[in-house]
Structure 1
Amino acid sequence: MTTLERQSVFSQEIVASQSRPEWLQTVSRLTKTFGFTHTTLMKVPTQGDDLLAPVVLETTVPVNFIRSVDQHRKLPDCPILAKIANSSMPQYWCFEDDIPVPPYSAELKNLMVQYGLVSGVIAPINCLNGRRYVLRFEGDSPKPSQNVLNELGIVAIHAFDVYDRIRKAELVAPKTLTKREIEVIRWTSHGKTSSEIGQILSLSDHTINAYLNNAIKKLDCVNRTQLVAKAIRLKVIS
């Protein structure tokens, strides 16, 4: 398959997305096609941003990684984002190849390695409202060719356009979570199972699962991991 043919297929798959969870599943699948493991759509942090969760829009990175970064407020220590500060082109990074200035803090680097984030491509996106975003493709992959870097840049721009369209189409405000649903999400964010939460709240596993499933539907998520991440981003829980 030629590059143009592959881009055409990718475009059709992305355009077919009807919701943000479906969009994330599609982009995640495309990410793996390029040899990477995780994908993240996020706002480019501005001066004063020191938490990762509020700037992440969608991600397949485990929520525990985000929580660990924010627990120690390590977002400002990340020199990866500096690579796109003055560039509109996709940028490749790798712990083995790059010695950024300033360098990664040992704590942040160890955390990223722990979650398999040792290389990646960051594709900057300029929104019409002037805000800058990036679509990150990360994992453990060798440096792609310039043609592939260019292709990832095109995929990122197209994927963001579709995501923005989906987001604007969400005219109906999300249904309000109940106090109990928020409580169950909070315990889930602490790593508790349905059984453990049930014991804490004196409820059955079935009831806990029902609360979680209702919350997943209300926040338009696909699983508990995304539910917790979105709840943190929306400041439903802290």
Structure 2
Amino acid sequence: MITLERQSLLSREISAAESRPSWLHALQVVAKEFGYAHATLMRVPHPGDNLLVSVIVESTVSIRFIREFDQRLLLPHCPVLTRIAGTMMPQCWSLDYDNSANPYPEAMDTLMREFGIINGVVVPINSLSGDRHLLRFDGDCPTPGQALLNEIGMIALHAFDVYDRMRRAEMIAPRTLTKRELEVIRWTSQGKTSAEIGQILSLSDHTINAYMNNAIHKLDCVNRTQLVAKSIRLKLIN
């Protein structure tokens, strides 16, 4: 497909998103179009941020990867975050072609390979409020050339603009979560499965999943990963 035609089609799909889940779906379409498996919007970590789940805004990466990443406290040791600290240009990264003085820790390399996250593109973006974010596409595909990298960068900027306008338009606070829904989210953030949470709270798996689905709907999320990340961002759980 011709570059301008593809960029126009993908940008229209992003612009048509009416909610965060539909926006994330459109972003996943973009990721797959360029050969990547996952799309993630995250804020740039502040000093003292140790957990990936606390900086993720939206992501299609599995919650199991995020949980295992955070169990190893790998976020402060991520070399990609160090490399993009002083630039606003899209950056490619790869586990296989890393000759920098700040290599990937062995535990991080092993975990990312296990989940098929071998390389990707990171696009630094500033919001109108001045907050710095990263929009990234990760997976295992050939490293893009400069023309393709520029195209990804332009689409990422448009995607963030759509997301930021959507976020700023959200004037109504999220519907209140019940005490039990918050309990379920809190246990989920600690890596517990529905079965394990059911045992802890003396409830069935079906009931736990019902609480989870209610909370996902109330906070306009698409999956458990987003639910946990958004609950932390809104300070609903620690």
Distance 2:197 2:69 in 1: 25
Structure 2: gaps (5+ residues): none
Q: TM-score, normalised by structure 2?
A: 0.90
Q: Alignment partner of 1:137: what SS? A: strand
| 1:204, distance to aligned residue in structure 2 (A) | 4.3
Equivalent residue for 1:86?
Answer: 86
Q: What is the percent sequence identity of the aligned residues? A: 59
Q: Structure 1 residues 3, 210: closer, same or farther in 2, change over 3 A? A: same
**Counterpart of 2:35 in structure 1: which amino acid?**
G
Equivalent residue for 2:68?
Answer: 68
- Which string of whole-angstrom CA distances, capped at 9 and with x for unpartnered residues, describes residues 135-180 of structure 1? 1110111111211100010011000000001101111101121111
Aligned length: 237
Does residue 180 (structure 1) correspond to residue 180 (structure 2)? The answer is yes
| 1:27, distance to aligned residue in structure 2 (A) | 0.1
Equivalent residue for 1:192?
Answer: 193
Distance 1:137 1:65 in 2: 15
Distance 1:143 1:3 in 2: 17
Equivalent residue for 2:56?
Answer: 56
Structure 1: gaps (5+ residues): none
Mean alpha-carbon deviation: is it higher for 146-155 or for 58-67? 58-67
Mean alpha-carbon deviation: is it higher for 170-179 or for 126-135? 126-135
| Residues 77, 105 of structure 1: 8 Å contact kept | yes
Does residue 113 (structure 1) correspond to residue 113 (structure 2)? The answer is yes
Mean alpha-carbon deviation: is it higher for 62-71 or for 133-142? 62-71
RMSD: 2.0
**Counterpart of 1:134 in structure 2: which amino acid?**
L
| Residues 63, 228 of structure 1: 8 Å contact kept | no
Does residue 216 (structure 1) correspond to residue 216 (structure 2)? The answer is yes
Does residue 167 (structure 1) correspond to residue 171 (structure 2)? The answer is no
Distance 2:225 2:213 in 1: 12
Q: Structure 1 residues 64, 235: closer, same or farther in 2, change over 3 A? A: farther
- Which string of whole-angstrom CA distances, capped at 9 and with x for unpartnered residues, describes residues 84-104 of structure 1? 222222111111111222211
Q: TM-score, normalised by structure 1?
A: 0.90
Equivalent residue for 2:136?
Answer: 136
| Residues 55, 229 of structure 2: 8 Å contact kept | no
| 1:235, distance to aligned residue in structure 2 (A) | 4.1
Q: Structure 1 residues 32, 167: closer, same or farther in 2, change over 3 A? A: same
